[in-house]
Structure 1
Amino acid sequence: MPAPVRLAIFARYPRPGEAKTRLIPALGADGAALVYRRLLERTVTAARQSGLRFELRVTGAAPARFHEWLGDDLVIVPQGLGDLGERLMRAAAPGIVIGSDAPALTPQLLQAAALALETAPAVIGPAHDGGYYLLGFNTPVPFAFADIEWSTSGVFQETLRRLEANGMAPHILPPLSDIDTMDDLANWPELLP
C-alpha cells in the first residue's frame, strides 16, 4: 500500500511589513498582515476539513508562535534556509504543497488532488495569474522547483513543461485566483481589514 499523501502548507508569520507586501500601499502594513492572517486561517481550516494529514512549513517566527495562533494540534516544521524552490524541495513525497493565497481552495479540491495522485504521477492547480496554487507529486520533483522565476506569469507553464519532460504528465485541477493585489481582493470583501 502506498504511503499516505502529506499536505504541506507553506506559511509566513503575519508580521506587519513582511506579509502581503504588495497590498501595503493600499492597506498599510497592519492591514496587509491581517489579510494574510485571514488567508492562512482559511487555508488551515480547509486542510483540517479535508481529512488529509498536513503540516505547516513555517518561516518568520518560531513554531510556538504558530501553535499559539492556530492550535497546539498542528504539526509545524521550520522551512529552513534557501529560496522558495529550495524550501519546497524539502517537502516529503508523496506530497502536496500549497501556500495560502487561494481563498477558493476547498477541502474538496484538496481531496481531489490527493485522489488524483492515486492514478497520476503529479497534480497541479493553475492560478489565473500564471502561477499555481497547488502541486502534488508521488516522487520527489526537485527539477520542478530549481531555478524557477517565482512570482511571474510563466511559473505554471514552466512547471508543467518540466513535469512532462520528466515523464510526469500531471492531472490538472480547475484554475483558481490568488490574492496578490487589491484587484484580487475585489471578490473577497471578508478578507479586508
Structure 2
Amino acid sequence: MAICHAGAELPGIAVFARAPLAGTAKTRLIPALGAAAAARLQRRLTLQALAVARRAALGRVTLWGAPDDQQRFFRAVQRACGVDLRSQSGPDLGTRMAAAFAAQAGPLLLIGSDCPALQPAHLVAAAQILLDEPPQDAVFIPAEDGGYVLVGLRCPQPQLFEAIEWGSERVMAQTRHRLSGLGLSWAELPWLWDIDRPADLLRLATLEGFVEWNR
C-alpha cells in the first residue's frame, strides 16, 4: 500500500473521454440514435463533464482523450478551455486510470463523461473527503449499474485497478474487496446514474441543458 501526505493540496480533476467519432462513440446507443447522433451526444457529454470540473474550482483539470490526444475535437477543446490534454494509454480501463493517477502523484479525482447528473458540488464533496482530518485514502461515487462515476485517491494506488471486470455490474463490489485487501480507508457518496443504454436517454431528456442536445 502506498503512503502519502496530501496536506491541504486541492485535488486535481482528470476527465476521461472518448473522441466523438461516428461509429466508435457511445456504440451501445447507436441502435436507438444512429451513429452520428450518438457521436453528437458524446461531444455534448464531454463538454458538460469539463464544464462541471472547471466550475468545481479545485486543482488542475486534465482531459484524457481516447484513442489519443491528437483528435481534432480534443485539440479544439484545449484551445477553447485551456485544459491540459493527455492521451489515455494502456490495454484496459484499469491500466489507463492507474496511469492518470501516477501522472498526478498527489490527490486526484477522476471522472468519465457519461454522468450528466454529476455536479460541481459532488466534486467538492469528494475532494473534502480526501482533505478532511482524518482524511480517507479514497472516495467513490457508485453508479446505479454497479460501477462508479467518480474515484478519488490521495495518492496513486495502482493495485486498486488490477483484475477488475470493467464494464460489468461487479466493478464497485470488486473494488470494495480490493480496497479492504489493501488496507485502504474509503468513503462513498450517494450513487448517481450514467448514460450507457437506450433506456437511459429518457432520464437524460429531463436534465437542464440536454432537452435539445440533438438539435
Q: TM-score range by the shorter chain?
A: over 0.9
The match for 1:82 is 91
1 CA distance for matches of 2:160 and 2:128? Answer: 21
The match for 1:140 is 156
Identical positions, percent: 40
Matched AA of 1:183 = A
Q: Which deviations, in whole Å up to 9, do the C-alpha atoms of 1:112-158 show, x marking residues without a partner?
A: 11111012111011000000000111121212211211110000111
The match for 2:3 is none
More divergent stretch after superposition (53-62 vs 179-188): 53-62
After TM superposition, give the deviation of residue 68 of structure 1 in Å.
1.0
The match for 2:125 is 112
Find the residue that maps to 1:96 and give its secondary structure.
Answer: strand
Find the residue that maps to 1:90 and give its secondary structure.
Answer: helix
Structure 2: segments with no counterpart, 5+ residues: 1-6
Is the contact made by 1:164 and 1:170 (CA closer than 8 Å) also made in structure 2?
no
The match for 1:100 is 113
**2:180 aligned with 1:180, yes or no?**
no
Matched AA of 2:10 = P
The match for 2:16 is 10
Measured at CA, do residues 63 and 94 of structure 1 come closer, stay the same or move farther in structure 2, by a change above 3 Å? farther
The match for 1:166 is 182
Find the residue that maps to 2:140 and give its secondary structure.
Answer: strand
After TM superposition, give the deviation of residue 177 of structure 1 in Å.
0.3
- For residue 67 of structure 2, the aligned residue among 60, 66, 69 is 60
2 CA distance for matches of 1:160 and 1:96? Answer: 17
Structure 1: segments with no counterpart, 5+ residues: none
Find the residue that maps to 2:76 and give its secondary structure.
Answer: helix
Find the residue that maps to 1:123 and give its secondary structure.
Answer: strand
Matched AA of 2:64 = R
Q: Which deviations, in whole Å up to 9, do the C-alpha atoms of 1:15-71 show, x marking residues without a partner?
A: 011110000111111011111111111111100100022101111350664131452
Q: CA RMSD in A?
A: 1.6
